């Protein structure tokens, strides 16, 4: 187990520069390639939910290696970060369902059904997966609700143990999409939010990024737990949530690296162990 000491007392910019780079830590997990054909134990396949046939919209379904027909398994539903992202540390995000990592790092391919969902773009040319931001928000939510219900009905997902996960844009999306209305908010047992959080930054380039709107979404959370992590520090999110006056079931963890990435879960880190333990306790 690789453990790093997070030094405190530095300014935000200095802290970012002083933290180690995660690329020096070798990966011990590799996300499986996407294959074609019918889903089966251990496979990760591209799927289209009924009602979106003939469009360019798709999601990924990964059944664990220990999947058997008739069993009920918890479900990890994941949203990706924005595409076209690259920083000075070599961190990149393609914004695709294929580029997501959190579910695999949490499960290592066992014990959980893993679903990577798209944001759905709609225009005169048709429907497709959106690489940046939310696409058509109503259509994105509609695809999510339909897909989660289908996975539970057809592939043995336990509707009482569905966890919404997201990185960066997806982390904001845990509340922005996942708590966006009463129907979709009912789907989730818990949330994993890594790097950014709905309402902390108001100047994102989309409608509804303001704190009044974020507060209305947050009020749908209730007593359900959220894991909240961020590279360097979670102080900004903690301060924001304190100001809301809402008493939530939040667990905060700083990723002790400078990197804006979700592939930390593919490495043998103390934080990954803590996340897995939190998940296990949450679905027990």
Residue-wise pLDDT for 40-62, tens only, equals 999 999 999 999 999 999 999 99
The closest of 260, 255, 258 to 274, measured between CA atoms, is 255
Distance CA 232, CA 234 (A): 7
pLDDT of residue 207 exceeding 80, the answer is yes
Q: How confident is the model at residue 2 (pLDDT cuts 50, 70, 90)?
A: very low
Question: If you ran DSSP here, which 8-state letter would residue 50 be given?
Answer: T
Give per-residue pLDDT as tens, 110-161: 999 999 999 999 999 999 999 999 999 999 999 999 999 999 999 999 999 9
% residues pLDDT > 70 (the chain): 94
Distance CA 185, CA 63 (A): 24
Question: 3-state class of 157 per DSSP?
Answer: strand
The closest of 257, 238, 263 to 248, measured between CA atoms, is 238
Q: What pLDDT, on the 0 to 100 scale, is given for residue 194?
A: 98
pLDDT of residue 11 exceeding 70, the answer is no
Given the structure tokens 């490495």, which residue do they identify? 267
pLDDT of residue 10 exceeding 80, the answer is no
Task: Count other C-beta atoms under 10 Å from residue 230's C-beta.
Answer: 22
Distance CA 208, CA 228 (A): 21
Domain that holds residue 199: 40-283
Q: How confident is the model at residue 240 (pLDDT cuts 50, 70, 90)?
A: very high
Please check whether residue 2 lies inside any domain of the structure.
Answer: no
**What is the pTM (predicted TM-score) of this model?**
0.94
Please check whether residue 279 lies inside any domain of the structure.
Answer: yes
Given the structure tokens 């059944």, which residue do they identify? 63
pLDDT of residue 23 exceeding 90, the answer is yes
Q: What pLDDT, on the 0 to 100 scale, is given for residue 16?
A: 62
Give per-residue pLDDT as tens, 158-204: 999 999 999 999 999 999 999 999 999 999 999 999 999 999 999 99
Note whether 130 and 139 are within 8 A (CB). Answer: no
Give per-residue pLDDT as tens, 66-86: 999 999 999 999 999 999 999
Mean per-residue pLDDT over the chain, rounded = 94
Q: What pLDDT, on the 0 to 100 scale, is given for residue 154?
A: 97
Please check whether residue 22 lies inside any domain of the structure.
Answer: no
Q: Helix (H) and strand (E) counts for the chain?
A: 8, 12
The closest of 279, 249, 284 to 105, measured between CA atoms, is 279
How far apart, in Å, are the Cα atoms of 221 and each of 24, 162, 234? 37, 14, 19
How far apart, in Å, are the Cα atoms of 112 and each of 30, 78, 248? 16, 12, 26
Residue 2 tokens read as: 């690789």
Q: How confident is the model at residue 36 (pLDDT cuts 50, 70, 90)?
A: confident
Number of separate domains in the chain: 1
Please check whether residue 31 lies inside any domain of the structure.
Answer: no
Residue 85: partners with Cβ closer than 8 Å, 6 or more residues away: 91, 92, 93, 95, 168, 260
Q: The domain spanning residue 60 has which CATH number?
A: 3.40.50.1820
Distance CA 119, CA 124 (A): 17
Q: What pLDDT, on the 0 to 100 scale, is given for residue 85?
A: 97
């Amino acid at each position: 187990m690789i453990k790093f000491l997070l030094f405190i007392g530095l300014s935000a910019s200095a802290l970012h520069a002083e933290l180690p780079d995660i690329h020096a830590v070798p990966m011990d997990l590799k996300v499986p390639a996407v294959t074609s054909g019918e889903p089966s134990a251990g496979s990760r396949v591209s799927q289209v939910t009924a009602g979106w046939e003939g469009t360019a919209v798709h999601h990924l379904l990964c059944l664990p290696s220990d999947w058997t027909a008739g069993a009920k398994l918890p479900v990890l539903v994941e949203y990706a970060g924005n595409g076209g992202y690259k920083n000075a540390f070599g961190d990149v995000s393609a914004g695709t369902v294929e580029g997501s990592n959190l579910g695999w790092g949490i499960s290592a391919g066992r014990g959980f059904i893993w679903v990577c969902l798209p944001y759905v773009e709609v225009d005169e040319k048709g429907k497709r997966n959106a690489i940046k931001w939310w696409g058509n928000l109503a259509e994105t939510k509609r695809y999510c609700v339909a897909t989660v219900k289908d996975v539970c009905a057809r592939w043995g997902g336990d509707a009482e143990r569905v966890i919404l996960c997201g990185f960066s844009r997806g982390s904001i999306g845990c509340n922005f999409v996942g708590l966006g209305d009463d129907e979709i908010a009912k789907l989730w047992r818990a949330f994993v939010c890594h790097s950014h959080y709905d309402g902390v930054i108001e100047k994102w380039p989309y409608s509804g990024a303001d704190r009044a709107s974020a507060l209305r979404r947050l009020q749908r959370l209730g007593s359900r737990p959220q894991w909240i992590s961020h590279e360097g520090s979670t102080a900004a999110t903690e301060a924001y949530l304190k100001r809301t006056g809402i008493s939530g079931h939040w667990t905060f963890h700083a990723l002790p690296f400078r990197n804006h990435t979700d592939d930390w879960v593919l490495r043998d880190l103390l934080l990954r162990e803590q996340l897995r333990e939190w998940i296990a306790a949450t679905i027990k």
